[in-house]
């Protein structure tokens, strides 16, 4: 039974069998709504010939979503006590996500970020409340300082974000860049006092679950796009290569991300920062693949005002970014020999070149991604060094591309 109030003290990073809680999974589902909204608006912006503005706005919105999700996840890994107070504040953060999602359309169409800002403030003030509560129950002066730095930094950034509402349109991307850097610096500054006690396996699982959710949203978006294209335009022949290629891309993305034990990279705070921050590119590109597939569908049936090359690039660019980001972040540390190291970078380049394959571009990109998986598995099976020592698979026997 859940207690009404418990001390919000740091949990041990050595806990066994630490897994995501039902509340964390519920929290993730709220983000699915917002990610879906951002993806749908990106599709509309690119399809109507406003690719530059659409991509910039998408990057800004996704940063707000990813950063709020990431901050909650790392805090929960270190301090989740699952009492009533903790649950209520988490539910408030979820409400903030839904408010933010409600403002996504206006931010794309009118460049009006007021509702998005209000939702973001709700999430961030709630998190600052959690950090303040953790400071009250800190076990040392250093830990208390760390918690208060987090709380103060989060609140100070919310004041800075007000500039995004009042700055002229052309200046807003620069305001966003400055404030994004300020947000990213808060954890670095806070944990100089003392490191938070996040759990490596728990963090790796949380990121993995969110990656699956984003890839699932990609499949759902692509399925809806193909279905509408078939029903409204009877264009099965044009859409079948896109559907097949998209499926191969998503399957390969899942395989490549989960084939290595990510928690082995989370052995220190420094590596944790790089790994956690680097996932912005992984998650944003994974979600953009779904938007790109919808754009390719709309172009194939004549509903999008852009060229075949541009529609193909909407799929191939985020796919290449995803593969290369996964390789840079952790996959390359599990490769033995030059051949294994080159698989994903070469696959990324090949996928980009598929942009010039015309109506077969998405299918060609999917085949290239699938070949990367097959090649990686083959090289791993043939190299005994990969199956021993520090590169050995974990207890589940996972090995790599």
**Residue 363 and residue 227 share a domain:** yes
- For residue 253, is it within any domain? yes
**Residue 174 and residue 229 share a domain:** no
- For residue 281, is it within any domain? yes
- In this prediction, residue 245 has a pLDDT band, given cuts at 50, 70 and 90, of very high
- For residue 15, is it within any domain? no
- For the segment 205-222, the average pLDDT, to the nearest whole number, is 87
Give the residue from 190, 225, 259 where a domain finishes: 190
pLDDT > 90? residue 228: no
Stated pTM of the model: 0.88
**Residue 295 and residue 148 share a domain:** no
The most confident of the ranges 5-9, 338-342, 381-385 is 338-342
* Cα-based angle 66, 72, 73 (whole degrees, multiple of 5): 85
- For residue 114, is it within any domain? yes
pLDDT for 347 equals 95
DSSP secondary structure string, 41-58? Answer: HHHHHHHTT-HHHHHHHH
**Residue 210 and residue 185 share a domain:** no
**Residue 342 and residue 242 share a domain:** yes
pLDDT for 388 equals 41
pLDDT for 59 equals 93
Span 158-176, pLDDT tens digits: 999 999 888 888 888 899 9
CA-CA-CA-CA torsion for 282, 285, 286, 291, nearest 10 degrees? Answer: 170
CA distances from 293 to 95, 218, 300 (A): 30, 8, 11
CATH number at residue 290: 1.20.1410
Number of other residues whose CB lies within 10 A of the CB of residue 147: 28
Span 181-207, pLDDT tens digits: 999 999 999 999 989 999 989 999 999
Domain that holds residue 314: 200-391
Look at the chain and report how many structural domains it folds into.
2
Q: Tell which residue, 78, 70, 84, has the closest CA to residue 23.
A: 84
- For residue 123, is it within any domain? yes
pLDDT for 233 equals 66
pLDDT for 223 equals 81
Span 254-301, pLDDT tens digits: 999 998 777 667 765 667 888 889 999 999 999 999 999 989 988 888
pLDDT for 218 equals 84
- For residue 398, is it within any domain? no
- In this prediction, residue 132 has a pLDDT band, given cuts at 50, 70 and 90, of very high
pLDDT for 3 equals 64
- In this prediction, residue 398 has a pLDDT band, given cuts at 50, 70 and 90, of very low
- For residue 243, is it within any domain? yes
Give the residue from 143, 161, 190 where a domain finishes: 190
pLDDT for 401 equals 52
Q: Which residues does 186 contact at the CB level (< 8 Å), separation at least 6?
A: 149, 150, 153, 154, 157
* Cα-based angle 19, 213, 56 (whole degrees, multiple of 5): 125
Span 33-90, pLDDT tens digits: 899 899 989 998 988 888 889 999 999 999 999 999 999 999 999 999 989 999 999 9
Lowest mean pLDDT among 200-204, 276-280, 347-351, 379-383: 379-383
- In this prediction, residue 384 has a pLDDT band, given cuts at 50, 70 and 90, of low
**Residue 148 and residue 287 share a domain:** no
Give the residue from 190, 224, 254 where a domain finishes: 190
- For residue 401, is it within any domain? no
Q: Tell which residue, 171, 178, 190, 177, has the closest CA to residue 132.
A: 190
Number of other residues whose CB lies within 10 A of the CB of residue 220: 14
- For the segment 308-320, the average pLDDT, to the nearest whole number, is 94
Number of other residues whose CB lies within 10 A of the CB of residue 317: 18
- For the segment 126-145, the average pLDDT, to the nearest whole number, is 94
pLDDT for 376 equals 87
**Residue 263 and residue 186 share a domain:** no
**Residue 250 and residue 162 share a domain:** no
**Residue 207 and residue 71 share a domain:** no
**Residue 258 and residue 182 share a domain:** no
**Residue 376 and residue 268 share a domain:** yes
pLDDT for 1 equals 53
- For the segment 324-333, the average pLDDT, to the nearest whole number, is 88
Span 105-126, pLDDT tens digits: 999 988 889 999 999 999 999 9
pLDDT for 260 equals 77
**Residue 378 and residue 237 share a domain:** yes
Q: How far apart are CA 295 and CA 313, in angstroms?
A: 10
- φ/ψ bin of 111: left (φ > 0), alpha (ψ from -120 to 50), beta (otherwise): left
What rounded mean pLDDT belongs to the chain?
A: 87
């Amino acid at each position: 039974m859940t207690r009404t109030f418990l001390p919000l003290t740091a949990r041990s990073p050595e806990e066994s069998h630490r897994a995501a809680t039902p509340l964390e999974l519920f929290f993730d589902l709220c983000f699915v709504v917002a990610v879906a909204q951002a993806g749908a608006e990106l599709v509309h912006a690119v399809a109507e010939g406003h690719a530059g503005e659409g991509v910039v706005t998408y990057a800004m919105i996704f940063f707000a979503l990813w950063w709020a999700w990431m901050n909650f996840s790392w805090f929960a890994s270190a301090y989740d006590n699952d009492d009533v107070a903790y649950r209520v504040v988490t539910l408030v953060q979820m409400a903030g996500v839904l408010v933010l999602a409600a403002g996504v359309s206006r931010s794309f169409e009118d460049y009006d970020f007021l509702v998005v800002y209000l939702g973001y403030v709700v999430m961030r003030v709630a998190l600052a409340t959690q950090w303040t509560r953790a400071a009250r129950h800190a076990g040392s002066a250093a830990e208390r300082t760390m918690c208060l730095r987090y709380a103060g930094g989060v609140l100070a950034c919310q004041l800075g974000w007000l500039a995004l509402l009042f700055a002229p349109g052309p200046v807003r991307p620069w305001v966003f860049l400055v404030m994004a850097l300020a947000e990213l610096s808060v954890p670095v500054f806070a944990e100089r006092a003392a490191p938070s006690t996040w759990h490596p396996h728990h963090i790796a699982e949380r990121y993995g679950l969110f990656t699956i959710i984003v890839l699932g949203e990609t499949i759902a978006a692509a399925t809806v796009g193909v279905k509408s294209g078939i029903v409204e335009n009877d264009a099965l022949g044009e859409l079948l290569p896109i559907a097949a290629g998209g499926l191969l891309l998503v399957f390969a993305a899942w395989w490549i991300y989960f084939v290595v034990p990510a928690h082995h990279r989370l052995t220190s705070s420094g590596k944790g920062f790089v790994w956690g921050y680097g996932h912005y590119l992984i998650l944003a590109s994974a979600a953009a693949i779904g938007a790109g597939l919808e754009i390719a569908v709309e172009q194939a049936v004549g509903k999008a005002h852009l060229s075949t090359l541009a529609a193909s690039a909407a799929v191939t660019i985020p796919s290449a970014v995803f593969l290369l980001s996964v390789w840079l972040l952790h996959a390359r540390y599990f490769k033995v020999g030059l051949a294994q190291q080159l698989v994903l970078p070469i696959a990324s380049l090949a996928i980009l070149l598929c942009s010039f394959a015309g109506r077969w571009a998405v299918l060609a990109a999917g085949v290239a991604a699938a070949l990367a998986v097959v090649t990686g598995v083959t090289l791993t099976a043939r190299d005994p060094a990969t199956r021993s020592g520090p590169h050995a698979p974990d207890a589940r026997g996972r090995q790599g591309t």
